[in-house]
Amino acid sequence: MRSYAEHQQGVRGLLEPLAERLSGAEYAERLELSAALGRVLAEDVASPVDLPGFDNSQMDGYALRASELASASPESPVRLPVGPTSAAGDLIFELAPGTASPVMTGAPIPRGADAVVQIERCDPPAFVGLGGSRHDSPVDTTVGFTAPVEPGSFIRRRGSDIAAGALLLTAGARLGPAQLGALAAAGVTHVRVRRRLAVLLISTGQELRAPGDELRPGQIHDANTTMIGAALRACGAEVVEAVAPDDADAVRAALEASLRPMADGAFHPTRPVDLVVTTGGVSAGAFEVVRDALEPLGVEFVKVQIQPGGPQGLGTATLAAPNAGGGTSEAGALGAGAHEASVSVPVVSFPGNPVSALVSFELFLRPVLRRLEGLTPDRHRARLPLAHEVVSPAGTHQVRRGVLDGEGRVEVGAPSSHLLHAYAQATVLVHLPVGVERLPAGALVDVWRIDD
């Protein structure tokens, strides 16, 4: 039997080669900024321009030469004629010596000016005659100043955010609103990003029917495709979904189809998948279809000291290349060429019980996929006191669902793996490691927040 930590390490090791592949320049795709939210840059981006592109005002006020206010004081204010106005979008003009020009926040600083005095510090403390259709103050308007000003005051210098040619964003940066804003401000319209991980999700079970379908006795609605598919997409993956009955040939057919992009048919991958995730058919029953289909291809099926989710599968499935008999196709998941005799793809297999499948995803696959996507891999973790006594099998690492009460204590739910509704209400996963049989109220336990 494999320990929880050993299986975690096994999944990390299996998928480690994907990190290098996904970051390879040959796999990058070029996207418009509007389509790049949440994606990861595949290459450095240098700024094509200075930001700001010109000296501009940090405040509403008057642009002037600081030297002309050197003698200003409350007792002996300096009054200057008001020159033309500089508003946002105006062309840059020359400031006449001995004048002060109204300048609005973000507007260009007139040539010759080297400081801005905020409008609140001027006399009058409001612009005269500006607004509506009038752009400039009336002729013969003056403005008074009662204190000197330091050169450079309230001026945003050209290139003070970033200079043209400097590194704007580095490869591996995740593109959120701020990053996309910086790119747009620099005039960048397209970026090269890492392609997303392509995953085939196969849910198995003779009893499965799509949500909304009428059920006969013994049939259930398929929760795993929706649930694990959503979990994969939340980690940035592109998902191809398939549902297979309890038939090994059907599982193998789904796998083969995912390695051969097609224009029509049941599967629509744009390229061969990088990873296969399955649910169901991994235990010791008589109809363990995933085990029967994939074990001969090289996938190992093991028992892990975890509850729920003890039965697990892990390994590389190797099968005949879809185009081994001739023809052309894209390279396979591990770079198989058009005429290679076989193609291989990593496989992670979970139990079919929905709670077992989702707990397995949380423990083993989610951290790896989030790291590949440039996301924080781990859930927020804490050690918190129990609200009541709990009992756990000593030989198993048990993962229970729970909630926090008003005092920050953990109320632990029932352990049964069929309680999907209870999982949907939970806010934490509670870890009771191997060796723990009974814990009293108030004992500290490790919890992962799952309500973020």
Q: For residue 238, which of 452, 22, 11 has the smallest C-alpha distance?
A: 22
Complete DSSP assignment for 338-391: TT-SEEEEEEEEE-SSHHHHHHHIIIIIHHHHHHHTTS--SPPEEEEEBSS-EE
**Residue whose tokens read 């004629």:** 81
Q: List, in order, residues 6 or more apart from 404 with CB less than 8 Å away.
A: 384, 410, 411, 427, 428
Q: What is the mean pLDDT of residues 373-381?
A: 89
- Domain boundaries for CATH 2.40.340.10 within the chain: 381-449
> Architecture of 4-28+196-372 per CATH?
3-Layer(aba) Sandwich (3.40)
Q: For residue 352, which of 392, 302, 312, 386 has the smallest C-alpha distance?
A: 312
pLDDT at residue number 260: 67
pLDDT higher than 80, residue 451:
yes
> Architecture of 54-157 per CATH?
Beta Complex (2.170)
- Domain boundaries for CATH 3.40.980.10 within the chain: 4-28+196-372
pTM, to two decimals: 0.79
pLDDT in tens, 160-197: 999 999 999 999 899 999 999 999 999 999 999 988 89
The pair of structure tokens assigned to 389 is: 């006594």
**Right CATH for 381-449 from 3.30.70.920, 2.40.340.10, 2.60.120.10, 1.20.1250.20:** 2.40.340.10
Q: Side by side, which strands form the sheet with 78-81?
A: 78-81, 142-145, 122-123
Q: What is the mean pLDDT of residues 94-122?
A: 97
pLDDT in tens, 252-283: 988 888 776 544 444 445 567 899 999 998 88
Q: Which amino acid is at 95?
A: L
pLDDT at residue number 257: 81
